[in-house]
Amino acid sequence: MPTMLDLLTIEAEFLRKSQEYRGIMRQLSLASADALDLNTQENIIAEGTFVRHFTLWERSLEAAFIYFCQGGESLAGTQHICRLANCDGVMVRKILGAGQKYIDWAVPGNVRERAKLFFEEGRPFHDPMIGKADVLADAQKIRNVIAHDSLEAWNSFAQVQRNNFQTERNFPMSPGQMPRARTARSATSLGEVYFDAIAEVFAAILRA
């Protein structure tokens, strides 16, 4: 069975990298939300930083899931009820993968359903993730349009624009411009808002 030190290590690695990526995003100049931004260099940096942070979230989420599947306690001392028994990390990965080459941790809804399948009432993953479901879904859509550049991804990105700015932009906003922009509701860039929301969800999972 894993120890609390294992979970603290997972958290420490996440926080170290999350703060590094947030610092990079903070150093970029703010972009307009209402006009095309032609700073290609900073847009590319923003895109790369966003993908790195989202990948960190996926990797950390998987590590925490496997930790709790093995019976590890949360940072609050709670031992959540997992439907697996006597499984080490290797076996948990095999069961999670179910013969697939990759385990999907990107789609929030899929992770919540997986949590409900493996854990009683989906704890500790379901409730923290459902509380930020819209933000996590939007972050995934931004990551997708950067990574895939497909028509489907761009259509989903248009929805993210409507969620953040009430209307779709009347110019081709790049996925790197959006994290550098901000809304009237925030004094920081949207990239930092997304990073902070993901960090908040992960902290809640580890302490549930």
Q: What pLDDT, in 10s, does the model give residues 108-139?
A: 999 999 899 889 999 999 999 999 999 999 99
The verdict on whether omega for the bond into residue 124 sits within 30 degrees of 0, i.e. cis, is: yes
Which range (69-78, 97-106, 108-117, 155-164) has the least confidence?
97-106
Domains contained in the chain, number: 1
Closest CA to 200 of 132, 142, 123: 132
Q: Which domain holds residue 58?
A: 4-207
Retrieve residue 112's tokens.
């919540």
* pTM exceeding 0.85: yes
Q: What is the amino acid identity at position 119?
A: F
Mean pLDDT of the residues in the chain: 92
- The residue with tokens 């709670």 is 78
